[in-house]
Amino acid sequence: MLKDLGVEALVLERDAAASGSTALSSGFVPSAQTLAQKRAGIKDSIEAFSADVQSKAHGSAAPHLVNAYCFAVPKAIDALELNHGVEWHVLDQFLYPGHSQYRMHAVNEKTGEGLMNALLKAAERAELTLLNQAHVLELVLDSQGNIVAVGFSRPDQSMEYVKTQALILACNGFGANEELIREHLPAIANAFYAGHHGNDGAAVIWSKGLGAALMDMGAYQGHGSWAMGPGSLITWAIMMQGGVQINAKGERFHNETQGYSEAAVEVLSQPGSQAWAVIDAELLDLAMGFPDFVQAQKLGAVKRCEDIEQLAKLIACDVEVLSKTLNWPIHDEALAIDQPLQDGKLAHARVFKRRLKPPYFAIHVTGALFHTQGGLSIDEHCRVLNSSGQAFKNLWAAGGAARGVSGNAVWGYLSGNGLLSALAGGFLAAQSVTQHIRSQGS
Ligand SMILES: Cc1cc2nc3c(=O)[nH]c(=O)nc-3n(C[C@H](O)[C@H](O)[C@H](O)COP(=O)(O)OP(=O)(O)OC[C@H]3O[C@@H](n4cnc5c(N)ncnc54)[C@H](O)[C@@H]3O)c2cc1C
C-alpha cells in the first residue's frame, strides 16, 4: 500500500479511462533475470541484456539509463508478480532482432490491453487515486523553479489545480503532434501513426518554459509491418523465422532481420510506400499465436496464393522476377558464419537456411510510426535535468516523456525499448519520489 510508504499519490489522466499507447502495444517487456525467466530455465544476465541494448544503438544509447533500466526492470516485473499477482510468461519461440536471449515478457493475454488491465488492477490494489478526464495543461512553478501545483481541465472546460510536493511526467512522447514530428522526425512524417492520440508532446512543449533539456530527439520506434487494410500490427516474428518483404517489383529490398523499426523507413521508400510480407504455412502457424495477427487475419488481411504465379498476380509483378526472388540460395549454419557476405550480400545481406514452400500467404503492409524515443533529459533516478545538467528538485519523467535508450536514430531501437523505459523508468521514478517525500516530511 502506498500509504504504508508515507506517500499519497494522484494520477491525472486526460482520457475517460487510462489506456495510452501501452494498451495499443503488443505488451512485450524485455528483461533479464526475472522469476519468469528463471522458471523457464533461461540463462541470461543483466550485462548481456545491457550489451544488446547498446549494440543495437551502435553504442550511442545513454549509458546511465541503459544500466539503470536493465537493473530495474526485473525488479519491477517481479514486484508486479509477487505483490500484485501479475502472471508473466517469456516468449521463447523466436528471438526478437538484436536480442541474444529469450527475454520478452508477456501477460497471459499476450496483448498491451491485457498488460494495461493488469497494471490498473495493481494500481487499484495499491489504493492509488486515479482521476480520469483530467487533462493537465499547466505546471505551476515557484520562484526557485520548483513545481508547486498542476493545473488540469475537466470535461466542462473548467480548470482545477492541485498542489504537489513532487511530479512525475508520464505522458509519453510526441507521436501525435504532427508539427513536432515534422520538425524532429521528417523521415517518418508522412507515415501512419499507430500510437495513442493523447501523446501530443506535452513534456516536450513544457520543457521550454521549464528550461529542461531534451535529448535523442531523432530516435523513434517505427514498424515496417503495419497491415494496410485493417490497420494492425503484423508480428515481426514471421520475418525473423524466414518470412520476407517484397516490393511492387517482386524484389526483396532489405535485410528483414535487422529490426522492424528501421524497416519502416525501408518500406516507406518503396514504390507506393508499401510492400508485401510473404510467409508459408509453417510461419502462418507461428503467426496465429499472436492476437494482433489473428485479428488481421479475421479482417481479411492475409491472402492465400497456391503458387508463385498467383502470388505474382496478387502483387501485380513480373512472375520471373518474383520466382528469382523466392528461390534464394540456401546455406547451412557453418557456411552462414564463414561466408556471410557472399550470396548473402546479393540477397540483401541475409543468409537463409530454407526457402518458403507453397502455398504462400501474403499481407499488404506499410511503414508506421509507433512512438517517439526522444524526450526530457533525465538522470539514473529519472530526475529531469536542465540544460546545465542539473536535476530539478521535484520533477521526474518516466516512459516516453523522457529520452529513451535507443540513441538518436530509428535503427537504435531494440525491440521492447519502449516498455522497458516505461516499466523500469516508472519503477525508478517512484522509488526516488518516495525517498524525496520521506526526506521532506509532510
Ligand atoms: C502498435 C504498437 C505496438 C507496440 N508494442 C510494443 C511492445 O510490444 N513492447 C514495447 O516495449 N513497446 C511497444 N510499443 C511502444 C509502447 O507502447 C510505448 O513505448 C509505451 O506504451 C510508452 O508508455 P508510456 O507510459 O510512456 O505512455 P502511454 O502508455 O501512452 O501513457 C501515457 C498516458 O498519459 C496520458 N496523457 C498524455 N498527456 C496527458 C496530459 N497532458 N494530461 C493527462 N494525461 C495525459 C495519455 O492519455 C496516456 O494514458 C508499441 C507501440 C505501438 C503503437
Q: What is the pLDDT of residues 227-237, one digit of tens each?
A: 998 789 999 99
Average pLDDT of span 410-439: 96
Contact between 195 and 223 under an 8 Å Cβ cutoff? The reply is no
pLDDT value of position 427: 98
Q: Is the pLDDT of residue 125 over 60?
A: yes
Amino acid letter, residue 336: A
The response to whether residue 195 sits with its C-beta less than 6 Å from ligand 1 reads yes
C-alpha cell read off for 1: 500500500
CA 270, CA 366: separation in Å to the nearest integer? Answer: 9
The response to whether residue 196 sits with its C-beta less than 6 Å from ligand 1 reads yes
Q: Is the pLDDT of residue 334 over 80?
A: no
The response to whether residue 194 sits with its C-beta less than 6 Å from ligand 1 reads yes
* Band (347; pLDDT cuts 50, 70, 90): low
Q: Who contacts 102 (Cβ-Cβ below 8 Å, separation ≥6)?
A: 37, 40, 42, 44, 90, 91, 92, 95
The response to whether residue 344 sits with its C-beta less than 6 Å from ligand 1 reads no
Q: Is the pLDDT of residue 337 over 80?
A: no
pLDDT value of position 250: 97
Q: Which residue of 171, 396, 405 sits with most ligand 1 atoms within 8 Å of its CB, as the best mutation to test the pocket?
A: 171
Same fold, 3-174+376-440 and 221-368: no
Predicted model pTM: 0.93
252: CA distance to ligand 1 center in Å? 32
Q: Is the pLDDT of residue 106 over 50?
A: yes
Give the ligand 1 atom nearest the CA of 27.
Answer: 8
The response to whether residue 172 sits with its C-beta less than 6 Å from ligand 1 reads yes
pLDDT value of position 339: 46
Mean pLDDT for all residues in the chain:
94
The response to whether residue 123 sits with its C-beta less than 6 Å from ligand 1 reads no
The response to whether residue 171 sits with its C-beta less than 6 Å from ligand 1 reads yes
Q: Is the pLDDT of residue 350 over 90?
A: no
pLDDT value of position 3: 73
C-alpha cell read off for 268: 516507406
Q: Is the pLDDT of residue 341 over 50?
A: no
pLDDT value of position 69: 98
20: CA distance to ligand 1 center in Å? 5
CA 353, CA 335: separation in Å to the nearest integer? Answer: 10
* Band (4; pLDDT cuts 50, 70, 90): confident
133: CA distance to ligand 1 center in Å? 17
The response to whether residue 382 sits with its C-beta less than 6 Å from ligand 1 reads no
pLDDT value of position 358: 98
38: CA distance to ligand 1 center in Å? 28
User: Whose Cα sits closest to atom 6 in ligand 1?
Assistant: 25
Give the ligand 1 atom nearest the CA of 370.
Answer: 53
pLDDT value of position 332: 65
* Band (333; pLDDT cuts 50, 70, 90): low
CA 17, CA 132: separation in Å to the nearest integer? Answer: 6
Buried b (16+ CB within 10 A) or exposed e, 360-374: bbbbbbbbbbbbbbb
User: Whose Cα sits closest to atom 32 in ligand 1?
Assistant: 171
CA 226, CA 203: separation in Å to the nearest integer? Answer: 27
Give the ligand 1 atom nearest the CA of 194.
Answer: 53
- The closest of 363, 244, 242 to 297, measured between CA atoms, is 363
347: CA distance to ligand 1 center in Å? 36
Average pLDDT of span 162-189: 97
What's the alpha-carbon Rg for the chain, to the nearest Å? 23
pLDDT value of position 308: 98
Q: Who contacts 271 (Cβ-Cβ below 8 Å, separation ≥6)?
A: 247, 248, 249
Average pLDDT of span 318-339: 77
Query: Percent of the chain, pLDDT > 90?
Result: 88
The response to whether residue 113 sits with its C-beta less than 6 Å from ligand 1 reads no
Q: Which residue of 172, 197, 382 sits with most ligand 1 atoms within 8 Å of its CB, as the best mutation to test the pocket?
A: 172
pLDDT value of position 345: 53
Q: Which residue of 366, 371, 372, 382 sits with most ligand 1 atoms within 8 Å of its CB, as the best mutation to test the pocket?
A: 371
Least confident stretch, 40-49, 102-111, 120-129, 179-188: 120-129
Q: Which three-class secondary structure string do you get for the chain?
A: CCHHHCCCCEEECCCCCCCHHHHHCCCCEECCCCHHHHHCCCCCCHHHHHHHHHHHCCCCCCHHHHHHHHHHHHHHHHHHHHHHCCCCEECCCCCCCCCCCCCEEECCCCCHHHHHHHHHHHHHHCCCEEECCCEEEEEEECCCCCEEEEEEECCCCCEEEEECCCEEECCCCCCCCHHHHHHHCHHHCCCEECCCCCCCCHHHHHHHHHCECEECCCCEEEEEEEECCCCEECCCHHHHCCCEEECCCCCCCCCCCCCHHHHHHHHHCCHHHEEEEEEEHHHHHHHCCCHHHHHHHHCCCEEEECCHHHHHHHHCCCHHHHHHHHCCCECCHHHHHHCCCCHHHHCCCCCECCCCCCCEEEEEEEEEEEEECCEECECCCCEEEECCCCEEEEEEECHHHECCCCCCCHHHCCCCHHHHHHHHHHHHHHHHHHHHHHHHCC
Any idea where the domains of the chain sit in the sequence? 3-174+376-440, 221-368
User: Whose Cα sits closest to atom 15 in ligand 1?
Assistant: 418
Query: Percent of the chain, pLDDT > 70?
Result: 96
Give the ligand 1 atom nearest the CA of 28.
Answer: 8
Give the ligand 1 atom nearest the CA of 426.
Answer: 25
CATH topology for the 3-174+376-440 domain: FAD/NAD(P)-binding domain (3.50.50)
44 phi, psi to nearest 5 deg: -150, 165
Give the ligand 1 atom nearest the CA of 398.
Answer: 26
pLDDT value of position 329: 83
Q: Is the peptide bond before 359 cis (omega within 30 degrees of 0)?
A: yes
Q: Is the pLDDT of residue 352 over 50?
A: yes
CATH topology for the 221-368 domain: Flavocytochrome C3; Chain A, domain 1 (3.90.700)
Give the ligand 1 atom nearest the CA of 19.
Answer: 49
The response to whether residue 11 sits with its C-beta less than 6 Å from ligand 1 reads no
423: CA distance to ligand 1 center in Å? 11
pLDDT value of position 7: 87
pLDDT value of position 258: 87
Q: Who contacts 233 (Cβ-Cβ below 8 Å, separation ≥6)?
A: 26, 194, 223, 225, 226, 227, 292, 293, 296
C-alpha cell read off for 306: 497456391
User: Whose Cα sits closest to atom 10 in ligand 1?
Assistant: 416
Amino acid letter, residue 107: V
CA 24, CA 263: separation in Å to the nearest integer? Answer: 20
